[in-house]
Amino acid sequence: MSDRVPDCTVFLDGSAVRAVAGEPVAVGLWAAGVRVLSRSVKYHRPRAAFCLAGHCGACLMRIDGQPNVKACQTALREGQRIEHQNSWPAGEHDLLGAADAVFPRGMDHHTMFTSPRAANALLRKMVHRLGGLGRLPERGGELAALPSGRRRKVDVAVIGAGPAGLAAALTCAQDGKRSVVVYDEQDRPGGSLLSHPRFGIAAADALAAEARAVGVELRCHAAAIAWYPEDDGGLLAIDDGGVLTKLTARRYIYATGSYDVNALFENNDRPGIWAARAVGLLATRYRVKLAGRTAILGDGAYAHALAEALASAGSNVEHLASERVLRARGRLWVSGLDLEGGRRVRCDRVAVAAVPAPASELARQHGAAVELRAKGGGFACLVDGRGATRVDQVYACGDVCGFVGVEAARAHGHSVGRAVAESLA
């Protein structure tokens, strides 16, 4: 059951909305009945949160005067000003959404109206006016307020505080002989533990506490943004709560996990179609009561765990393990799915449990080899039995090496943590 009690008031396009302070804006607005959070850039299709992990870009809103802010990564607080973007005339109402209906087969703006010149000039004027997403930030900072970077050197840097990263860090730090720091872009450690109904916050906090107990430093709201090979002989740039950290380490462990991906069917971007792990977060981390019916797509272990958890919590679940979905129904929110063979399923939300894609780009930037896994959602980081990539001092573990799920990722983290400790002994 839900223990969420609204305790603050925020303003959506000027209207008061009651919400739970500290929850993500995307979750609070959804719980308050707001359906459309954003509009796609070109066709103005309605969009709402899909991944709740800051990776899909479907929940960008204007928050307190800043454009293009991820509503799923921003905590609600009293008096916050939240606005829809890229809609006309305003808010949830967007007449430009007609573009989607007028061009059912899409419009190729590169080749349309190339002549005559007057038509082309008009097209350019229109496209220019309609281009862009959010409006310029209300305020800019003073130059003096620009944060300057700080340098940091550690023995072991772990990127990602999910099951693999936390396990690797704590195994590596256990003998107390080296400094280990874990960076994670999310607001708390746990990664995919947080969205898994059998683990959740308690398991995440326990693993994080275990790591801290052996001296691991955990830094959240700290996104590793790039590996720069040429600056000072190579450094990892980290946006650590808005301040740049230029990090060098004797060993780097990439435990960046995996991205949620969508399944392919018509209108798969309808609001109400979530990544399964986002629905897991709603139920497990945010403890939102899932009223109505949830259709779960997919046959993996996670899909089954989620179906089981929702059902045992009394939620109405339709688990479509192997059926092929043709299209989603509903205009501003999903109302059902058409399946191959003519069957129609009514639902109030969809949880897509496709195989997540390894978040391998940072390790790749650092020189790790990757390989396309046709059935594994994307490019997996290649490592040997010790978790070592082809680059000296660079390791990887968990889903970034190909999706394996929470438990296997944690086990891999332990073994790679051990190998890294040995390499430094």
Which residues are at the interface with other proteins (CB under 8 A)? Answer: 41, 66-68, 109-117, 120, 123-124, 127-129, 131-137, 139-143, 145-146, 149, 226, 228-231, 235, 237, 244, 246
Please identify, using beta-carbon distances, which residue of 15 and 114 lies nearer to other proteins: 114
Q: Of 20, 26, 18, 24, whose CA–CA distance to 3 is shortest?
A: 20
Say if residues 25 and 15 touch (Cβ distance below 8 Å): no
Q: What is the DSSP letter of 282?
A: I
For residue 252, the minimal CB distance to other proteins (Å) is 16
Please identify, using beta-carbon distances, which residue of 246 and 304 lies nearer to other proteins: 246
3-class SS of residue 4:
coil
Q: Tokens for 318?
A: 């339709």
For residue 302, the minimal CB distance to other proteins (Å) is 30
Please identify, using beta-carbon distances, which residue of 71 and 279 lies nearer to other proteins: 71
Burial 137-149 (b: 16+ CB within 10 A, else e): eeeeeeeeeeeee
Please identify, using beta-carbon distances, which residue of 94 and 399 lies nearer to other proteins: 94
For residue 137, the minimal CB distance to other proteins (Å) is 5
For residue 21, the minimal CB distance to other proteins (Å) is 23
For residue 54, the minimal CB distance to other proteins (Å) is 13
Residues 6+ apart with CB under 8 A from 409: 162, 163, 164, 167, 192, 255, 257, 397, 398, 399
For residue 290, the minimal CB distance to other proteins (Å) is 33
Please identify, using beta-carbon distances, which residue of 239 and 323 lies nearer to other proteins: 239
Say if residues 189 and 218 touch (Cβ distance below 8 Å): yes
Q: Tokens for 402?
A: 């190909």
Please identify, using beta-carbon distances, which residue of 107 and 321 lies nearer to other proteins: 107
Cα separation, 185 vs 205, whole angstroms: 16
